[in-house]
Amino acid sequence: MKSDTPEELHPDSADQEISRLIDEVISTSQTDEKYRQKMQRRKEVQDQRIAKAIPEKGLIIVNTGHGKGKTTAALGMVLRSLGHGYKVAIVQFIKGAWEPAEKRAFSHWENQLEFHAMGEGFTWETQDRDRDLDKAAAAWEKSLEFINNPDFKLVLLDEINIALKLGYLQVEEVLAGLAQKPADKHVILTGRGAPPALIEKADLVTEMTLVKHPFKDQGVKAQAGIEY
């Protein structure tokens, strides 16, 4: 006799079960009652997973990959945190000389937000490796201040992965710094080329995949409101 309580499901099995139910609903003609039963089963599986979930944990979040949207996705989390009344810090490792529009837009939250654009542009623009190294070191020191400060709920380290990829920072020192953060603090690290050790340490990793890009495919320059 089938129990009214859903069986225990491993997280991977739960994902497979939900996918199967969705596929069945999409691929077959369902009566209203059959549809209701399948959606009820899906709700039971999801409720079971949520009931077992950890209530709260400070996350290490990595947005990487060659596709566009790494910083944009991180700024969405920044906006969400500001909306909850949390204090947020942003440190930009590469951008800075551009005076990006994000800095102006977020100026409305000056009581909640610390914004430090500490880079001077990309390496082909600065053409001074020693200065780039100094700027990256200074940005990392500023980042550590916010990582260790319990008043800040979220810290965004924008384009730090590029600084790591170029050897301006060592992944070991970044991992050591992240290990110091309060248990409830979230830290987002963006930029292509995130090193494997950082990906291994992270709680949430998203890789943006490039499919088409207007500059690469059509020669369209970076545009206000889209790229900056």
Residue that the structure tokens 């204090």 belong to: 87
Query: In 53-187, where does DSSP find H-type helix?
Result: 70-83, 101-105, 123-126, 129-148, 160-165, 171-178
What tens digit of pLDDT does each residue of 126-178 get?
A: 557 888 899 999 999 999 999 999 999 999 999 999 999 999 999 999 999 99
Q: Is the pLDDT of residue 216 over 70?
A: yes
Give burial (CB, 10 Å; 0-12/13-18/19+) of 227. middle
Higher pLDDT, 35 or 206: 206
Question: 148, 180 in Cβ contact below 8 A?
Answer: yes
What global pTM score does this model have? 0.78
- Give the other-Cβ count within 10 Å of 27's Cβ: 8
